[in-house]
Amino acid sequence: MQEKAKISAARRAVLLIFLVCGIGLSSWAPMVPFAKLALRLSEADLGVVLLSLGAGAILTMPVTGILINKYGSRRISLFSAIIIATMLPLLLLARTPYELAAALFVFGAGIGSVDVAMNAQAVLVQEKHGSHIMSSFHGMFSVGGLLGSIGLGFLIKAGLSPTVAAVSISALLIIITATQFKYLLPRSEEAKIDSASFILPKGPVLVLGLMCFILFLAEGSLLDWSAVFLQFSRNFDPSLSGVGYAAFSVAMAIMRLTGDGIIHKLGPSKVVFYGTFLAGAGFLIAVALPWPPAALVGFVLVGLGAANVVPIFFTAAGRFPNVPPSVSLPAVTTLGYAGQLAGPALIGFIAEFTSLSIALGFVGVLLFIVAFTYKHRE
C-alpha cells in the first residue's frame, strides 16, 4: 500500500511538472507582440530572434541526457523549471534584439531540459504504474498551454503590466515545482541511460522524422505566431491575442486526454490521415477567411487534428524492422523538436517576403502532404 501511494504521488507530481512546462512555454505566446512592438522588429527579424529559443532547447537536449544519467531526472526537472520561471519576465525586459535573443536562448534551454527530464520521469512512473498513462501527462501539458496563454492575457486585462503579469506566472511555476519536487522519483530508481552517439536518420526513419518535424512545426507556429496573427491581421485586442493558442490548446488537451480510446477504435492509420488533413484544413480556414472568429475555429481544428498524431509517430519509430529503437527514436524525436522550436523562424522569413497569412497557409499545405504520405506509406 505504501508503494502504491508513492507511485500515485509521483504520478501527480509529474502531471504538475508537465503543467509547469506547458504554462511556462505558452505564456510566451501572448508576450510575443509586446516584444515585437517594443523592439520594433519586422517579421523576418522576429523570426531570427525566435530561432534562439529553438537553438537553446535543441542544443540542451543531448546534454540533459548526460546530466540525468549523473544527477537524476528529479533534480534536473527542478533546476530546469526554475530557469523557465526566472527567465520568463526577463523576456519583456530586453532592450535590444540581442538581449531578447540571449534571454530566449536560456529560456529555450530550460524548456528543452525540463522536456527531457519530465518525460524520463513519466516513463519511469508509467513503468511502475503498470499501465499506459503517457497520454494523460501530455494532456496536462496542453492544459498548461491553455492556462499560460490565456492567463497572462487575463492578468494584463485586470490591470497588471505585462512584466508584473509575467512575474506572477513565474511565482506560480516556482511554487508548484517546489511543492512537488519531493514526490518525484529519485535517481536511485532510474536505470542507466544509453549514451550511444546520435546517428543521422535515413530511409524510412528519415521520412517519419520529417513528418514529425512538420507536425511539431504546426504546433510551434501557433505558439510563436498565433498572437501576432490575431493582433495584426485580425485586429484582436493585445490582451486577447493569446486566445488563439488557448483555443488550440483546449482542443489538443481534450483530444489527448481521450486519445488512447480514439486510436484503439479507429486505428493509427486513420487517426494520422484524418487528423493531419483536419489540421491542414484548420490552418487554411484561419488564414483564408477574413472574419476573426474563423481564425479561432481554424486553430481549434488544428488542435483536434494534430493532437494524437505525434504519439502514433513515436510508437511507429520504435517498431522499424532491423532498426533498434535506440537509433530510430532519438532521430525522430530530434527532428520533431527541431520543427517545433526552430521551424517557426522559417515562418518569419516567408512572412517577410509574402505575408503571415501565406506563411501559415504553407504549414497547412505541409500537413496535407503528411496526410497522403503516411497513407501511402501504410
Q: Note every long-range contact of 66-70, with CB atoms under 8 Å and residues 24 or more positions apart, other chains counting.
A: 66/195, 67/113, 68/116, 68/117, 68/120, 68/190, 68/193, 69/192, 69/193, 69/195
> Rounded CA gap, 10 and 35, in Å?
37
Q: What is the pLDDT of residues 273-299, one digit of tens each?
A: 999 999 999 999 999 999 999 999 999
More confident residue, 27 or 58: 27
At 117 the pLDDT is: 85
Q: Mean pLDDT over residues 12-27, rounded?
A: 94
pLDDT tens digits for range 330-341: 677 778 878 876
pLDDT of res. 253: 85
pLDDT at 218 over 90: yes
The model's pLDDT over 98-148, given as tens digits with 9 standing for 90+, comes to 999 999 999 999 998 898 888 778 878 877 887 667 777 888 888 898 788
Q: What is the pLDDT of residue 132?
A: 66
CB contact at 8 A, 46 and 348: yes
Return the minimum-mean-pLDDT range out of 24-38, 111-125, 219-233.
111-125
Average model confidence (pLDDT) across the chain: 86
The residue-averaged pLDDT of 212-217 equals 93
Q: CATH for 200-378?
A: 1.20.1250.20
Residue 319 phi, psi (nearest 5) = -125, 20
pLDDT for position 319: 65
Q: What is the average pLDDT across 222-251?
A: 89
Answer whether residue 64 shows pLDDT above 60.
yes
pLDDT of residue 61: 78
227: exposed, middle or buried (Cβ count in 10 Å: 0-12, 13-18, 19+): buried
- The whole-number average pLDDT for the span 220-245 is 89
What is residue 326's predicted lDDT score, i.e. its pLDDT? Answer: 47
- What's the confidence (pLDDT) of residue 203? 78
First-to-final CA distance of the chain: 45
Q: Are 165 and 155 in contact (CB under 8 A)?
A: yes
The one-letter amino acid code at 43 reads E
pLDDT at 200 over 70: no
pLDDT above 80 (res 198)? no
More confident residue, 207 or 261: 207
Nearest one of 176, 68, 167 to 113, comparing CA atoms: 68
Is-same-fold flag (1-188; 200-378)? yes
Q: How confident is the model at residue 78 (pLDDT cuts 50, 70, 90)?
A: very high
Has residue 365 got a pLDDT over 80?
A: yes
Is 70 exceeded by the pLDDT of residue 1? Answer: no
Q: What are the residue boundaries of the structural domains of the chain, listed by start?
A: 1-188, 200-378
Radius of gyration of the chain from Cα atoms? 20
Residue 209 has pLDDT above 80, yes or no: yes
Q: For domain 1-188, give the fold.
A: Growth Hormone; Chain: A; (1.20.1250)
Q: Which residue, chain included where needed, has cell 508503494?
A: 3
- What pLDDT band is residue 196 in, cutting at 50, 70 and 90? very low
pLDDT value at residue 377 = 65
Q: Per mean pLDDT, which range of 31-35, 326-330, 367-371 is the poorest?
A: 326-330
* pLDDT score recorded for residue 201: 62
Is the pLDDT confidence value at 329 over 80?
no
Residue 152 has pLDDT above 80, yes or no: yes
